[in-house]
């Protein structure tokens, strides 16, 4: 039960910081290695291609990656609940279902938005 809970509760996927850093590195390499319309110098097109390629590769490498510390923390939480005879904790998705509400409208009406607090 605890491992199933941890599998469901732990976010998976690429780290956004890694993707951004790779995109910047790729833009620099692509811009320097590419050719501008005169055949020399900085290439904006090469920079764009390099950023997309490098960022895409890192994103693909990160698919399915799990943060081991977050998984262990979720496991420990569910295990403790099980050993104490308490119900299974709610997963992140169960705790934080969208509850957004928009009220008001029209040209003069205000708009209010509501959401749940404490959803991380």
pLDDT digits (tens, 9 = 90+) for 1-37: 888 888 888 878 888 888 999 999 999 999 988 876 7
> How far is 79 from 77, CA to CA, in rounded Å?
6
Average pLDDT on 30-45 reads: 80
Contact 51, 27 (CB under 8 A): yes
Helix (H, G, I), strand (E, B) or coil at 66: strand
Q: Which two tokens stand for residue 40?
A: 């020399």
The average confidence (pLDDT) of the chain is 80
Stated pTM of the model: 0.52
The domain ranges of the chain are: 7-96
The pLDDT of residue 100: 55
């Amino acid at each position: 039960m605890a491992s199933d809970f941890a599998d469901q509760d732990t976010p998976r996927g690429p780290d956004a910081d890694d993707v951004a850093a790779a995109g910047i590195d790729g833009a620099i390499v692509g811009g320097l290695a590419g050719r501008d319309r005169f055949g020399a110098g900085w290439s904006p097109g090469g920079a764009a291609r390099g950023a997309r390629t490098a960022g895409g590769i890192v994103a693909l490498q990160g698919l399915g990656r799990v943060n081991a510390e977050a998984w262990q923390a979720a496991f420990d939480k569910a295990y403790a609940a099980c050993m104490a005879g308490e119900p299974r904790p709610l997963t992140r998705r169960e705790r934080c279902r969208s509850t957004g509400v928009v009220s008001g409208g029209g040209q003069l009406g205000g708009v209010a938005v509501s959401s749940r607090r404490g959803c991380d």
